[in-house]
């Protein structure tokens, strides 16, 4: 809420300067208390079941974009609003360290610009990317993403897109814990912690924004530093260690991946 009020004040101050108004806008003294929404961590076994479901081409709900999106979501901190703006030239699956670059992408929070390593299912991601290629600049097909005056938007609605993916989560959530696509972001951070990843690596991989000391350090690394080949390789190893369970002891997943 405070951030939104700050934006409103900035807009009003801009109008005051442009129109030479003898006014000054100030933030109201409000005791704003908001309860942070808890995001449940997705268990490892549930991850495996989800991946099986999302890749089941015999299911009438199957679509390549769903498998593509989910394969990225569950091995990274990306969210749907980032993937909608992802362009094909930002995807580097052929690189020494397969990754997505979010440096040139219009993000909700500019401090989240980062490199996203993709160590899992790289060959399958390339197959899906080729399958969805309709000559569009975006990673996702035209039926899903359209260009508007305000940038890329969902062709239908974000709620509809999320609902289609969240249906898979509901199928794996008999206890109604409340798993959603956004839970993959918080679960990713949890598994990085559990794998003893370095705090600064977690901060970078998660794209956390804020005004604390670590976030400020992160901003100063810059594209040529923390986005270098050596650092990206280090991040890839951290992700592989944390999320490697997705490839373990699951014959069906491996079979689908090689198909």
Tens-place pLDDT, residues 125-142: 999 999 999 999 999 998
80, 68, 52: which is closest to 163 by C-alpha? 80
pLDDT range class, residue 58, cuts 50, 70, 90: very high
Mean pLDDT of the chain: 80
More confident residue, 29 or 19: 19
Q: What residues does CATH 1.10.443 cover in the chain?
A: 44-258
pLDDT, mean of residues 16-20: 76
pLDDT class for 252, splitting at 50, 70, 90? very low
Whether 80 has a pLDDT exceeding 80, the answer reads yes
| Residue 109: predicted pLDDT | 57
pLDDT-based confidence at residue 257 (cuts at 50, 70, 90):
very low
pLDDT tier at 12, thresholds 50, 70, 90:
confident
Return d(Cα 161, Cα 144) in angstroms, integer.
8
CA quadruple 234, 236, 239, 244: dihedral, nearest 10: -120
pTM for the predicted model, two decimal places: 0.76
The CATH number of 44-258, from 1.10.443, 3.90.550, 1.20.144, 1.10.1060, is: 1.10.443
Angle at 120 between CA 118 and CA 80, to 5 degrees: 55
């Amino acid at each position: 809420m405070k951030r939104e009020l700050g934006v409103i004040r900035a807009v009003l101050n801009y109008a005051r300067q442009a129109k030479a108004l003898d006014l000054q806008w100030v933030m109201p003294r409000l005791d704003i208390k908001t309860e942070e929404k808890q995001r449940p961590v997705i268990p490892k076994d549930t991850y495996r079941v989800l991946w099986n479901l999302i890749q089941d081409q015999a299911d009438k709900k199957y679509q390549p974009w769903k498998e593509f999106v989910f394969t990225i979501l569950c091995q990274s901190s990306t969210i749907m609003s980032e993937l909608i703006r992802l362009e094909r030239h930002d995807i580097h699956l052929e690189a020494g360290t397969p990754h997505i670059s979010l440096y040139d992408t219009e993000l909700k929070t500019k401090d989240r610009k980062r490199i996203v390593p993709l160590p899992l299912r790289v060959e399958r991601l390339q197959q899906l990317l080729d399958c969805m290629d309709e000559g569009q600049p975006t990673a996702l097909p035209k039926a899903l993403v359209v260009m508007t005056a305000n940038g890329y938007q969902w062709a239908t609605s974000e709620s509809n897109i999320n609902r289609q993916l969240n249906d898979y989560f509901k199928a794996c959530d008999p206890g109604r814990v409340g798993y959603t696509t956004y839970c993959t972001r918080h679960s990713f951070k949890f598994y990085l912690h559990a794998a003893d990843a370095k705090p600064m690596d977690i901060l970078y991989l998660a794209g956390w924004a804020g005004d604390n000391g670590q976030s400020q350090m992160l901003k100063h690394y810059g594209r040529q530093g923390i986005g270098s080949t050596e650092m990206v390789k280090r991040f890839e190893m951290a992700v592989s260690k944390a999320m490697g369970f997705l490839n373990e002891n699951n014959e069906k997943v491996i079979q689908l991946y090689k198909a």
